[in-house]
Structure 1
Amino acid sequence: MNSIPLSMQLAILVTLLALSGFFSMAETAMMAANRYRLRSAANLGSRGARLALELLGKTDKLLGIILLCNNLVNAAAATLVSVITMQLFGSEEWVLGVSTLVVTFLILVFSEITPKVVGANHANRLACIVSYPLSALLKGLYFIVWFVNLFVAGLLRVLRLRNNNGQDAHSLSTEELRTMVLESGTFIPPKHRSILLNLFELEDITVEDVMTPRNQIEAVNIADPITVIQGHLATCYHTRLPVFDGEMNAVIGLLHVRRILGQTLDRSLEAVDIRDMLTKPYFIPASTPIYAQLHFFQENRERLGLVVDEYGELLGLVTLEDIIEELIGKFTTSAPDSTDKLCWDANGSVIADGSQHLRALNRKLGLDLPVDGPKTLNGLVLEHLQDIPESGVSVKIAGVPIEVVQAEDRRIKTVRIFRPTKER
């Protein structure tokens, strides 16, 4: 080494530090790279991204080749600094101490911290670049890396640790995906982001959450006089109506209103004609998730179902449109909804019906009322008070002040909701 000119030794030292910095940067870039972005780039034809994914698929060999080369280069750089220092200042003990401090400083600044910061800040772009030389090095030094990894694998087995090549660290849970969507910023338009967030909630929402309650169902009582039925059919908003005989639990079928038109053009309508036009009702358990119900509608080629509880009592009605609206929002062609008129007045309050669905209220007014219990505003207040309140009683639920305006017939008819104040 002494025969090599000092200038050449300094050039070799700079080269070694640069190589060490490259391997440090490559290690950080490869490990910090977003695999999903790399996979997207690989699908678009990026060879560098494809090589990076191949290397990340065998993390033990990737780290083996990087650390093998990096440690060799660092050891060579430390030895060279010691030689240069002794040539310049002699071989006293203080010279060796100074050379150790110098090489530590150089490696930290030029080979570790700076390259790692660069690699972390530009991980995805650099991973596609450094994958080329790393792949070539791995092929050339494969036997050495394989031999070293034999001892690594043995040590992992002794410690009872499983080598999964980092696959588990890059598998995302539902909540992690939800967080990614929430933090997508301008990459996903707000409307699209809202639809994606609704998709994550499908398994937690049941048909009972989106159904039309029993007391709001538009239905035909076959026991009514034919003139009453005709008036009902002439003014109904929906094209499919449940038909019951005497009381709502006795649903005998579903009537497609358009089929009545041909009958009424030929002759007068009779109750027996309506019975002949009925189709078999489709019943749905109240606890059915709407994601599963969407598939059931598709498999059974149905668009409307009657929701029943565990005792077979009719609770409400759900349609295919109700489920789709839960995902993408209200249609302009939907039936009039009482929540459409809800808005805060100048005093920061709003009058709402006790039968309002909590999910609809939360969405319309921007509230956070709990929806894991009762489904309506009336049920929520009754559960909270554990009694049927009188008019004028006020409660605060989930930070939302609610005043009972009118209560009758064992239920809360109307309430006044006050806009919650933001806590400072």
Structure 2
Amino acid sequence: MDTIPLWAQFLALAFLIFLSAFFAMAETALMAANRFRLRHQAKRGSRRAIATLWLLERTERLLSLVLIANTLLNALAIALVTAIAITNFGVEEHVIIISTAAVVFVLIVVAEISPKIIGARYADQVVLPASIVLRPLLRMARPLIWFVDLFVNALLRLFRIKPSSSLANADLSPDELRSVLLESGSFIPQKHRSILLNLFDLESISVEDVMTPRTQIEALNLAVPVEEIIEQLTTCYHNKLPVYDGEINQIVGILHVRKALGLLREEDELTVHHFRALLSDPYFIPLETAALDQLQNFQENKERLAIIVDEYGEVQGLVTLDDIIEEMIGEFTTSTPSAARAESFSWDLHGECLLEGVTALRDINKRLGLNFPLDGPKTLNGLLLEWLQDIPDAPISVKIGNCIIEVMQVQNQSIKVVKLRRIEGPALQI
């Protein structure tokens, strides 16, 4: 050491600290890097991204390299400082202790904490250039890593810990992927993120949650006079109508309204048989069918409308392809006056909202930010009847969660109109 200038010794010390800081920063940046962005860049031909993904596929070997390098560099830095102190001040115990403490402090601040903070905060900017250096180092250090791993694996087996080579390749669960979408921030537009989240929700709902209830089905009755059938056809809001004979459970087919209107122009004296000739076969599905499965069934069967029946074969409602698609991308049609009204409800200035009893609880939760349970009744009327265990014959109010529900009108054994009043405060689970 006497023949080496002091400035060269300190320059070597600074170089050791710099290398230690580089490894610490590179390790943190690799662990914090956005793997989805790296895969996207790799598909576009980025060599740095490809090198980074290559390193991440060998996480255990990479960690071994970084830890070995950091340990050796830190030990060399402490030894060098000790040698400098002895050379310049002699074997003085207090000088050696002070110099060692000083270099340990510098290593903690400059070579550990600071570079790791930088690596975590600027992971995407650091990881790509760092991978160009680490990849050849990892290849050159393979024999050393193999030798060290022999002892590491022996120690792990001693404690009955099985080494794993797939640390960085764990698949994301649906809930984890949902969390990734929720935390994507400005990287994914709000509308796109909403569609993807709705697609996850589609797995947990059935056609019952999105169907048009039986009482709201617009259908054609062949048992009424032809004049009434014609009048209904000229004023209907849909292109396809279920057709029944006398009673809604006796559905005999589906009528394309455009074909029927063409029939009105061609025939002078229409009969029920003319309309029967235009019917296509009805498509029936069970009440418990999952919405996502039904979307696929529509595609496979080349259908757009299905009649929903329960276990007794009685009609409960109908669902269309549009109903399921709207669950994913939001409502885009207002084909009936009732649909137009359903789109418009919201809290007024007094924190109140007037609703029909047939309004779906899912729509209320979405539009008003409430938390009504969805595992039971599907409508506001059904929720109140279940809650009250009776059909009220006078105005009554109940408190459910963070909302006061006031029954305003009851008609034909069902609640027709209610008023919701919001209660300020944290949301309550029902």
Short-chain TM bin:
over 0.9
> 1:349 aligned to 2:352?
yes
* Equivalent residues in 2 for 1:154-173, closer than 5 Å: 154-158=154-158, 159-167=160-168, 171-173=171-173
Q: 2:352·2:421 contact (CA, 8 Å) conserved in 1?
A: yes
Letter in 2 for 1:414: V
Letter in 2 for 1:298: Q
How many angstroms does 1:260 deviate by?
A: 1.6
SS of equivalent residue, structure 2 residue 365: helix
> 1:101 aligned to 2:101?
yes
CA 1:333–1:61 in structure 2 vs 1: closer, same or farther (change >3 Å)? same
Could you tell me which residue of structure 2 aligns to residue 248 of structure 1?
A: 248
Could you tell me which residue of structure 2 aligns to residue 222 of structure 1?
A: 222
Could you tell me which residue of structure 1 aligns to residue 238 of structure 2?
A: 238
After superposition, what is the alpha-carbon deviation per residue over 1:376-416, rounded to whole angstroms, capped at 9, x for unaligned?
00111111222222322111112111001122433212111
Could you tell me which residue of structure 2 aligns to residue 374 of structure 1?
A: 377
Of residues 413, 416, 420, the one that matches 1:417 is 420
> 1:403 aligned to 2:406?
yes
Q: 1:353·1:413 contact (CA, 8 Å) conserved in 2?
A: yes
Could you tell me which residue of structure 2 aligns to residue 300 of structure 1?
A: 301
Q: Greater CA deviation, 61-70 or 127-136?
A: 61-70
Q: Greater CA deviation, 389-398 or 153-162?
A: 153-162
Q: 2:398·2:405 contact (CA, 8 Å) conserved in 1?
A: yes
* Equivalent residues in 2 for 1:112-131, closer than 5 Å: 112-131=112-131
Q: Greater CA deviation, 118-127 or 145-154?
A: 145-154
After superposition, what is the alpha-carbon deviation per residue over 1:201-236, rounded to whole angstroms, capped at 9, x for unaligned?
010121111110000101111111111111111211
Could you tell me which residue of structure 2 aligns to residue 362 of structure 1?
A: 365
Q: Greater CA deviation, 198-207 or 328-337?
A: 328-337
Could you tell me which residue of structure 2 aligns to residue 312 of structure 1?
A: 313
CA 1:34–1:228 in structure 2 vs 1: closer, same or farther (change >3 Å)? same
Could you tell me which residue of structure 1 aligns to residue 326 of structure 2?
A: 325
How many angstroms does 1:333 deviate by?
A: 5.2
After superposition, what is the alpha-carbon deviation per residue over 1:156-214, rounded to whole angstroms, capped at 9, x for unaligned?
34423341432355x33323332333333333333223222211201012111111000
Q: 1:198·1:326 contact (CA, 8 Å) conserved in 2?
A: yes
* Distance in 2, Cα, partners of 1:316 & 1:305: 9
* Distance in 1, Cα, partners of 2:364 & 2:250: 31
* Distance in 1, Cα, partners of 2:111 & 2:252: 80
Letter in 1 for 2:282: P
How many angstroms does 1:24 deviate by?
A: 1.2
Number of matched pairs:
423
SS of equivalent residue, structure 2 residue 354: strand
SS of equivalent residue, structure 1 residue 201: helix
Could you tell me which residue of structure 1 aligns to residue 43 of structure 2?
A: 43
> 1:207 aligned to 2:207?
yes
Letter in 2 for 1:421: E
Letter in 2 for 1:5: P
After superposition, what is the alpha-carbon deviation per residue over 1:82-114, rounded to whole angstroms, capped at 9, x for unaligned?
101111221133233223212211211221111
Q: 1:339·1:364 contact (CA, 8 Å) conserved in 2?
A: no
* Distance in 2, Cα, partners of 1:54 & 1:154: 26
Q: Greater CA deviation, 144-153 or 104-113?
A: 144-153
CA 1:395–1:164 in structure 2 vs 1: closer, same or farther (change >3 Å)? farther
Give 5+ residue unaligned stretches, structure 1: none
* Distance in 2, Cα, partners of 1:201 & 1:127: 35
SS of equivalent residue, structure 2 residue 277: helix
* Distance in 2, Cα, partners of 1:359 & 1:6: 76
Could you tell me which residue of structure 1 aligns to residue 139 of structure 2?
A: 139
Q: 2:402·2:422 contact (CA, 8 Å) conserved in 1?
A: no
How many angstroms does 1:348 deviate by?
A: 2.8
Could you tell me which residue of structure 2 aligns to residue 24 of structure 1?
A: 24
SS of equivalent residue, structure 1 residue 228: helix
Q: Greater CA deviation, 206-215 or 224-233?
A: 224-233
* Distance in 2, Cα, partners of 1:5 & 1:186: 55
TM-score, with structure 1 as normaliser? 0.94
SS of equivalent residue, structure 2 residue 166: coil
Q: 2:308·2:316 contact (CA, 8 Å) conserved in 1?
A: yes
* Distance in 2, Cα, partners of 1:282 & 1:343: 36
Q: Greater CA deviation, 56-65 or 179-188?
A: 179-188
> 1:186 aligned to 2:189?
no
CA 1:211–1:332 in structure 2 vs 1: closer, same or farther (change >3 Å)? closer
CA 1:106–1:373 in structure 2 vs 1: closer, same or farther (change >3 Å)? same
Letter in 2 for 1:402: I
After superposition, what is the alpha-carbon deviation per residue over 1:237-284, rounded to whole angstroms, capped at 9, x for unaligned?
111111111111111111111222333333222111222221111111
SS of equivalent residue, structure 1 residue 405: strand
Letter in 2 for 1:277: L
TM-score, with structure 2 as normaliser? 0.93
Letter in 2 for 1:342: F
**Sequence identity, in percent?**
51
Q: 1:362·1:369 contact (CA, 8 Å) conserved in 2?
A: yes
Q: 1:404·1:414 contact (CA, 8 Å) conserved in 2?
A: yes
